[in-house]
Structures are given as C-alpha cells and as structure tokens.
Structure 1
Amino acid sequence: MRLLILAWLLPLAVLSPEAMARACNAGVVFEDTDGDGRRDRGEPALAGVQVSDGRRIVRTDALGRWSLPPSPDHTVFVIKPASHRFPSGADGLPVFWRHVVRSRQPALRYGGLPRQATRCHDFALLPGAVAAAEPLEVLVFGDPQPRTAIDVDYYARDIVAPIVGAARGAPAADLGLTLGDVVSDDLSLYPAMTRHTASLRTPWLHAAGNHDLDFDAAGDERSLDTFRRHFGPDTFAWEEAHASFIVLDDVIYQPGAARPYVGGLREDQFAFLAAYLDGLPRDRRLVLAAHIPFFDEPGRETFRRADRERLFALLKPFTRVLLLTAHGHVQRHHRHGPADGWSGAEPLHEYNVGAACGGYWSGLKDADGIPDSRMSDGTPNGYASARFDADGGYALRWHVARGGDVAMHLHAPKVLRAGAYPGVGVYANVYMGEPDSRVEYRVNGGDWRAMRLSDQPDPALRTRNLLDDAAGQLRSYDRLPEAVETTHLWRGALPTDLGPGDYLVEVRAFDRWRGEIRASTSYRLETAAP
C-alpha cells in the first residue's frame, strides 16, 4: 500500500510550478448531506455554483467541477448560492475559502499570510437556506475596534451578550456583517473577537477597515494578509434569496504618504465586480458592505472620486441598491446624486452605520463597569439591524447597546424663569433621522408643533465635554469625544409665558421604517426678582 501511495505522489512532485498550480487550482463543489466535511458516496455534486479567485468567476459543471487559471498566490472562494449554506469552521465562521500561498512572504508583526502547502480545493455546502417567503434578518456591526483585552470584554458584555440572551439559544440572525475595524491596530485580538462573535450562532462576514491593516507591510498589496488569514478574502459575494451581498475592502494603504490610507478600489476588485454583476437580474437587491464611506467628508476627498464614479457606473443598471459603511463613529444617511457621480433614476441610499465601540469605549463607566461610549454626534453606541423582504424592500434600525427600544434622546433645561425671553430650547437627537424626517413637540398636551433641524453639536454630549474640561482630575480613563455637528438633531423653543409650575414636553418623530417614536422630558417655570 505504501508503494502505491508513493507512486501516486511522485508525478505531482515533479510537476512544474505552472502545472502544479493548474492541478491544484481546481476542485469540486458538493452537497455535504451528512455534514461531516467529506464527500461520501451518494452525496451529489452541485452544478452552476460560482467559484472565484477574487478577479475571475467560473461556474461548476454538471459534475460539480471547477477550475481557474493558474496563479502563484491567491484565495479561492465559493459565492454562496441562495439554495445552500456553508459549514462552520472551528472558529465558528463559515468555511467558504481556501488560501494558496506558494511564494515566501515578508515577515509581518502579526503573522501575515504564511506559506501554505499546495492543496486542491473541494468545497462542501450544506442543504437548507432562509426561506424566500420569510424576511432575511441581518445584524450589522460597525467598528467594534477594541485596543486591549479590556475593550474586548466591553464588546462581549455590551454588544454580544444582550443579543445572545434575547435569542434564547437560537441563532441571533440569518446573517451578520462587521463593517471593518474589527480591532484597533492590535491584530492579535482577532481570535478573541471571533470567539465572542461566534457565540451569536450566525453566519458572520467581515469587511476590512483601516485599523485592520498590517502597517508594517510594504504596500497595499500585502496590507491585509493577517486579516485574510483570519477572515478570508477581502472582496467577495454572498447570495441569499432576498439579496446579493458584496463585501469590499475599500481601504487603499499608502505607506509613507501624507495620508496613510484613502478610500478606493483596486483593479482586481473592479474585474470581480464586473464579472459578478454581469450575471445578475437588474431588479436584484444588491447590498454593498464596506468600511470607508463612499461619500467624501466636507472639504476633502476621502474616497477617490474616479473609483466612486467607476463603481457607480457598474451599479447604475440596478434598481435596488443599498450601501452599508462605517468608519466615522457617527450615525448618518447619505443619498447619492449627480454631485457624487450617481446618475440613477433615484438617489442611491448609503447608511453610514454607527460604531459598536461608539466613542472608542470612552467616558464614565456605569454600574456594570461599561463606559458610556457615545459617539461624537451624540448617538449612543450599539449596532444596526436590517430586514430584507421577498419583494426587495428593506428596513433599517439602530439598537442602543443594552438600551431596549430607545430611538432618540432629549435635552432640555430643568428650570427657566417664568416670563423670560423664550430663547432656550428642547433638543431631540433622533438616531435614525434624516433631513426630511418629521419631528414635532408639544407642551402639557397642547398642539403639536414642528421642530426645526439644527446644525449644532448634541448638547447632552457637549455638557459632558464641559464637565471633563472643568474637572481637576480625570473623570474616566478616556474622556468622551468632542461633540461635533450632527445630521439628526432637532430643536423646539420652550415657552416661558405659561405661569409658574411643572410642564411636560413630549416629542414624536416619524421613523422611515418604524413609524412613530416618542420621548418626553419636563421643565419647571419659577418666578424670580431682578
């Protein structure tokens, strides 16, 4: 038997590198009906499944076979068909990719992507998927970004544990996305983060962020090697009955430049996008998930305009597109139009998701020992969810960490002088608000009056900034970020001509997806002598 095995291995050992690449850049996709990870007798091959090396896409033939052109270093992955699901690996993440690294790699601090033995690639898929008639429930985490093991513990207790508890042993969602900055530069924290995320029992996908880079890499090409070792390809597609999800690395690393990174896309990513989008119906729901927003920050190009216009040209034929990004540690919506290079029939919606770590796990700790962590626009830290319906529609929601159903907060004075000039207001920070949102208030059950959109920083956060400024010693390990202008703050003037007494202030806002939401506060009017 040993002689037979050696006789079989010998021809492979003497193959040229090109022949070896060709021999092992092929495989079979099959349905693993018993879930043991091996193709057993009677387990069917799967035809028509898409397999890619990140640039080219091929489909399996009637026998489930696929092959790609030879390449010395690459990652091969399966584009999950809506009809099946992937098995989970030992780390709890879906197994849909294999690395082939034949060349010697430069040493990187966090391990990079070391040389791996050449191996052929058979991929197992499991039967069963989310029923098309049922909504697809997706969890979306922006910027968990722990710097230390202490921050990892905050992530586990503040974000993950409440979701696990609410799920009561069931999968927390049908799919999960982390939109980059899985960690904050210390890539050795990846295993701990994955262990906590895997407890959600949900197929989880990761986009790369600027804090996920190997900063000791010589250039952009190898700057995500450690990320890829843990999470697989940096650009790929994943299909459910309700939508096609495209995860993109949109961080261009520029070592030595004035700006170490900029938003943009590579040539191989455009090749992959063109190949993948070409085979989709134009009314298919597309969800693009990335880290850096596709819009620019005021006064500077944060995403390369030429790349954005090229991407938007590929997306223009599609009538149902949603963009999900993170990075800014604020909560906002952007509707792309001609000024951004989008020329579709309707504005292109980008939801720039707030951060799981909020203001970088900063601020005073609560009774559970978890920092306040609100973001610079005043939004409390947390996570988003998205629901995709069979008809292509979607609904978005922000969940405050351990915050129940809170959707906005109010800020108002506790006491004013009766008869004073009515120059003081109540402010409503509506976390999912947009400029056209309807926000109204009333005092003591009176008529509802419109509040106006304000360009001020969130006053509740500004108050905490001032307390930090005035303190003679540190109030917390890290203070909360400075309050900045928010896109979802409304103001209404408080009346002072109602006579002394206590007055109830109610605010209602009309969320695009949830409908009416409410909050209330109160203030008191007192008489005073000059």
Structure 2
Amino acid sequence: MRPSASVVALLFALTVPAAALAQAAPCDGGSVFEDRNGNGRRDAGERGLQGQRVSDGERIVVSDAQGRYRLPLRDNRSQFLIKPAGYRLANRSSGLPDYWLNVRLQAGPALKYGGMPATANCRDYGLIPERRKASGDLDVLVFADPQTKTATDVDYYRRDIVEPLLAGRAGSRVADLGLSLGDITHDDLSLYPQLNAVTASLEVPWLHAPGNHDLDFDATRDEDSLLSFRHVYGPDTFAWEEAQANFVVFDDVVYQPGGKTDYIGGLRPDQFAFLESYLASASKQRLLVLAMHIPLFDAAPGRETFRSADRERLFALLKDFPNVLVLSGHSHTQRHVFHDATDGWQGAKPLHEYNVGAACGAFWSGVKDAQGIPDTTMSDGTPNGYARLSVRADAGYGLRWFPARQSGGDKAANPYLRLYLPKVLRRGSYPIRGVFANVYMGRADSRVEYRIDEGEWKPMRRVEQPDPTLLAENARDDEAGRLRGYDRAAIATPSAHLWNAPLPTDAAAGEHQVDVRVFDPWQGEQRLSASYRLLDTAQD
C-alpha cells in the first residue's frame, strides 16, 4: 500500500535540519563562516570566510571580507554553497551534506509526493576545515541507477551494494566522496528516506543527480517536475570542489508532459547561465567532472535522446578545458564514448564519457542466489555493481568497475571479464565455434588477446552482438515451465565490449586450455582462463 501524500510530506519534512535554517524574518543574504566545532551553527568566535561562492542555480555571488553574501531571493529556487577544496560540511539529519536551502515563498502545486513546501528564506553556511591531507588521490564511489521500486529492492541495494562495501573497508574510509547518477528510485519517491538511510551508513559525503524516474509525474511543467526530489536532495544543478577535481552535478532530464515522449536529455537556460558563470573562474588544472543521468551521446542512430543544440552549446563552454570527464547513467549498460569533431566536440583531445552501469543492473531481475538476491545482469552482459573514480593531483584519473558481491559466486571469477566457450567440440569439425570475452570496462581501442595451451598470443576481434551467456539465460527463462525469478533476466542486446576468437579443432583429442588477457589502461594486464575438450567420434 502506498503512503498518503500527507504522510510522505511529513517524512520529507523530517529531512530538513533545524540548525540549517535562520530565523524566519525575510532576508536576502547571510554569511559563510568557519564552523570550527562542526555543529552547523555559527557560534561566537567563528570567523566569516571571504571569497566563498553562493548560487541560486543561475547567479553566483561571492562573500565579502566578513563572510557576508547578498543574493536576493527568488521563488522556487534552490540556493547552495559551492563547497571549496580544503573544507567539509556538517550533515543533515538524512545523512546528506548540508550545503543548500530551498526557497519557497509561495505555495506550490499539490503533488503526490509532497513537492517542496514553504521554507525559511535565509541561512548561513558553515565550512569545517578539512584536517586530513589532500595530497593523495581522491577516491570517489559512483553509483548509477539504484532504481528501487519497493522496500524489497531497497533491501537488495543494501545487501548487494552497500554492505559489501562496509565489510571491505577494514577500518578505513569507504571513499572520499560519493555520486549517484540519477534514478535513485523508480517512480516511488516515498522510498527516498529508506534509501538515504542505507547510503548514509557508508559515512561518505554523497551527491545526487536526478533521473527520469525521480520526476513528479503529476507536475504539469518541467519547472515543477523535481520539487519532491529537491526537497530531499537540494539543488538539481550545482558545483562541488575537491583539491584534485571540480564536480558539476546537473539535471539533464527535460520533462515534457503531454508530449510525444515524457522527457528528453537537455539543459535549461538557467543551467547554462550557471555553468558559464562557474566555468569562467574554474581551474583548468584540476579534472572537471560532469555528473548527469542521460548520456550526452544519442542512444541510437537517427534518434535524438539528448538535444543536439544543447550538446553543442555545452561543448562550446567546455572546449578550453583540457581535463574533462563525463559520467552518465540511464542506459543500464556500460560503455566508453570518446566525443570528437564528428560529434561537435571542439577540444584539443577527445572528450571521454563513461556511461556507468547500473547498481540495480537489469532492474533487480533474474534468478536469486543463495542469499535471495537477484542475479540482475545487464542486457550487455555486465554484472550489476558500481564504479570507482580515482583522481590524481595532476588531473589524471583511473576508473574501475566492481561487480556486486565480489566475495562470492560466479560474479567473483574475475571482476574485469567473463568468458564463454563450448565445453566440447568434435575434433576435425569446422572451426566456427569460438571463445567470447565480455570485458566489462572494454573500449573500442582495447587490446584483448588469447592463446591456446600456452601458445602464441593472438588478437581477439571486437564484435557487437549479444553476450552468449545472457542469451543462454534467456533460453532457460523461455524453456522454464514457471517463472524462475520475480522478473525474468534482461533480454540480451548487442554489447559494446565483447570480443571473439575461433577455437581450433585440429589439435589432439582431450582438454585444451584457453587463456585471455586484457590490457586495462588503469588496472594493467588482467587474465582469465577456461578450457574445452576435443573428442574423436565416428560418423553413424
């Protein structure tokens, strides 16, 4: 049973921190101060901080010598502090970092999930000096599409993704920062408090981009389509800075109620105004990370899934930045795209977009394991999981994919790739059967090689076709007389990271070893082995 709108609104109201709100008297500014004791309030003796930036998602203002800023209020805006490097923030009661204030001066539309209620209209922002050294690499957890439909899915998210991270930290921090790339939930926004409680257990500052399943679908215009999301997560577009990288997180879902499609990828004029203002003074030495939900590339030839005019305008803003990484979600598959002049990119080197696989995989579908968690392999054959981004001080970075529950089951055979090959072939048969390697982080230029019985290494050929392991799972679903899981496995679709090579049949009868190696640009050489048998058989 779904909770009533009033109950949902009450749950959301509990996420607003009383300490973050100033007195109810109208104002058009506040201060940014050094929060030495980390309590989120400006106490006696805590000095104001000069040069700190506060924005309403379009304009950016800077604090004066006393830490004061002036930003006239505008209704239906989310005001926020651009967190500078060298500082951290106190947490809200939800466990989220406290860096924003939603401005609601007049009553908004009545929405199923509560929308954004009236709030106090001014505040101070506290920055806590960061005491740990910032000279090492920045470690960022990246989750795309947790996409929980029910409390059961939230429990899968907890046990499949979050608890293994907690179990593996060995007394150290899980990560320095966390990013969720949209579709936090699947249309049921009342699940936000439960999800936040699970994510907050990681004790990592966590930033959220909205996705198309985070919309208020009863809103009648795009401007109101993220009110419930913003009440919980704050601004839909903002910047956040660390010593090694600057992050711009933004909503790129344009809601089109009553249109041919519900939404399309793109950006609003106010977002471009904010980006232009922010990038004008942003460091070009740091890595600039753009985090969003809908990919910048179009999902299929001839079909515009991200507005081309908006992509062109965004690329023009970014062309002079030498170090840019785009992180997107939405597809429930995984691939690397390098935008170049054919896409309208004008930078000196191709723009790398990593379209991150989904935490929920194929929407929490498939056969359950011994722990009762669905297999939920994605349609391109990638196991569900999460990514880690490591950023160096020189703007260099590394990426790695972590299949969920690495410590057990077939998923743990190798976190980089999976092999598929026949178990038995007739000796002397035509060599049309081969070995397939699904390289989860594979790119178009990846070097993938194989050898038989420790012989000469030979290149494998990249093919764009469905993963045969998932095709076999689809066949088992079709042949079953009853449902094997709550939802069937994802239908296999052509994978962007699948390699193939023929298996020779002219060797001696018996067992033959197949080794595959991958040269990962960030993790080095990775190997996996399997075997097949050749049998002598007489023709009937």
| Superposition TM-score tier, normalisation by shorter sequence | over 0.9
Shift in Å at residue 129 of structure 1? 5.8
Distance 1:171 1:380, change over 3 A: same
What's the counterpart of residue 100 of structure 2? 97
**What does the per-residue CA deviation read over 1:52-79, in whole Å, with 9 as the maximum and x for residues that have no partner?**
0100001110000001133233221100
From 54, 62, 79, the counterpart of 2:82: 79
Conserved? CA contact 2:339–2:353, under 8 Å: yes
**1:498 is aligned to 2:500:** no
In 1, distance between residues paired with 2:76 and 2:347? 38
> Which residue in the other structure is 1:166 paired with?
168
Equivalences for residues 274-289 of structure 1 within 5 A: 274-289=276-291
Equivalent residue for 1:474? 483
Mapped to 1, the partners of 2:315 and 2:256 lie a distance apart of 24
- Corresponding residue number in structure 1 for 2:5: none
Tell me which residue corresponds to 2:228: 226
1:427-466 alpha-carbon deviations (Å, 9 max, x no partner)? 0000000111110111111111110001111000000011
Q: Which residue of 1 aligns with 2:297?
A: 295
Q: 1:514 to 1:251 in 2, by over 3 A?
A: same
Instruction: Give the distance between the partners of 1:214 and 1:176, measured in 2 at CA.
Output: 24
Structure 1 runs (4+) deviating above 4 angstroms are 20-23
Stretch of structure 1 that moved more, 338-347 or 371-380: 338-347
Q: Distance in 2 between matches of 1:229 and 1:284?
A: 31
Shift of 1:120: 2.1
Is the CA contact 1:37–1:124 (under 8 Å) kept in the aligned structure 2?
A: yes
TM-score under structure 2 length normalisation: 0.93
Contact 1:293 1:352 in 2 (8 A): yes
Return the alpha-carbon distance in structure 1 between the equivalents of residues 210 and 238 of structure 2: 12
How far apart in 2 are the matches of 1:314 and 1:175? 26
Retained in 2: the 8 A contact 1:130–1:136?
A: no
> Map of 1:408-487 to 2, 5 A cutoff?
408-487=417-496
Secondary structure at 2:428's aligned position in 1? coil
Alpha-carbon deviations, 1:306-330, whole Å to 9, x = none?
A: 0000000000010000000000000
Q: Distance in 2 between matches of 1:389 and 1:508?
A: 27
1:212 aligns with 2:221: no
Aligned to 1:262: 264
Unpaired runs of 5+ residues, structure 1, are: 1-19
C-alpha separation between the residues in 1 aligned to 2:391 and 2:84? 17
Equivalent in 317, 321, 338 of residue 318 of structure 1: 321
Secondary structure of 1:529's aligned partner? coil
SS state at 2:168 partner: helix
Q: Is the 8 Å Cα contact of residues 138 and 392 (structure 2) preserved in structure 1?
A: yes
What TM-score, normalized by structure 1, do the two folds share?
0.94
Between 1:67-76 and 1:354-363, the stretch displaced more is 67-76
Look up the match of 1:122: 124
TM-aligned CA deviation for residue 167 of structure 1: 1.4
1:40-79 aligned within 5 A: 40-79=43-82
SS of 1:509 mapped into structure 2: strand
Is the Cα contact below 8 Å between 1:21 and 1:71 reproduced in 2?
Answer: no
Q: State the 1:425 CA deviation.
A: 0.3
* 1:257/1:119 CA distance change after superposition, 3 Å: closer
Paired AA for residue 30 in structure 1: F
Distance 2:199 2:509 in 1: 53
**Is this contact kept in 2: 1:21–1:72, CA < 8 A?**
no
Using the TM superposition, give the Cα deviation of residue 171 of structure 1 relative to its aligned residue in structure 2, in angstroms: 2.8
- Residue number in structure 2 paired with 1:509: 518
Equivalent position SS for 2:486 = coil
Which residue identity lines up with residue 203 of structure 2 in the other structure? Answer: R
Q: Which residue of 2 aligns with 1:4?
A: none
5 Å matches for 1:371-382? 371-382=374-385
- Number of the residue aligned with 2:343: 340
- Which deviations, in whole Å up to 9, do the C-alpha atoms of 1:376-428 show, x marking residues without a partner? 00000000000000111000000000125511000000100011111100000
Q: C-alpha separation between the residues in 2 aligned to 1:196 and 1:274? A: 35
Residue 8 (structure 1) aligns with: none
Query: How far is 1:104 from its partner?
Result: 1.0
Amino acid at match of 2:389: A
Q: Distance in 2 between matches of 1:485 and 1:443?
A: 27
Q: Distance in 1 between matches of 2:124 and 2:296?
A: 36
Match of 1:35 in 2: 38
CA distance in 2, matches of 1:269, 1:130: 33
CA distance in 1, matches of 2:263, 2:532: 48
Indicate the larger mover: 378-387 or 277-286: 277-286
- RMSD across aligned C-alpha pairs, in angstroms? 1.4
Cα contact 1:85–1:129 (8 A) shared by 2: no
Amino acid in the other structure paired with 1:416:
L
Tell me if the contact between 1:236 and 1:248 (Cα under 8 Å) persists in the aligned partners: yes
Partners of 1:443 and 1:503 within 8 A in 2: yes
Query: Is the Cα contact below 8 Å between 1:131 and 1:241 reproduced in 2?
Result: no
Q: What displacement does 1:199 show?
A: 0.6
- The residue number in structure 1 matching 2:353 is 350
Q: 2:213 and 2:367 mapped to 1: Cα distance?
A: 25
The aligned runs of 1:123-272 (5 Å cut-off) are 123-128=125-130, 131-272=133-274
Cα 1:130–1:260, aligned 2, differ >3 Å: closer, same or farther? farther
2:45 and 2:330 map into 1 onto residues whose CA distance is: 48
Tell me if the contact between 1:100 and 1:119 (Cα under 8 Å) persists in the aligned partners. yes
Give the distance between the partners of 1:129 and 1:518, measured in 2 at CA: 40
Letter in 2 for 1:154: Y
Structure 1 residue matching 2:162: 3-state secondary structure: helix
Q: Partners in 1 of 2:422 and 2:62 — Cα distance? A: 64
The reply to whether residue 384 of structure 1 matches residue 393 of structure 2 is: no
Give deviations 1:315-346, integer Å, cap 9, x for gaps: 00100000000000001000001222101111
Equivalent pair of 1:82/1:129 in contact (CA under 8 Å): no
- Report the Cα offset of residue 472 of structure 1: 1.9
Q: Contact conserved, 1:170 with 1:201, CA < 8 A, in 2?
A: no
**CA, structure 1 residues 169+98, in 2 after alignment: closer, same or farther (shift >3 Å)?**
farther
In 1, the alpha carbon distance for the partners of 2:47 and 2:173 equals 27
**Residue number in structure 2 paired with 1:14:** none
For structure 2, list consecutive stretches of 5 or more residues without a partner in the other structure: 1-22, 408-413
CA distance in 2, matches of 1:247, 1:499: 58
Deviations 1:222-246, CA, capped at 9 Å, x for gaps: 0000100110000000000101000
| Structure 2 Cα separation of the partners of residues 223 and 149 of structure 1 | 23
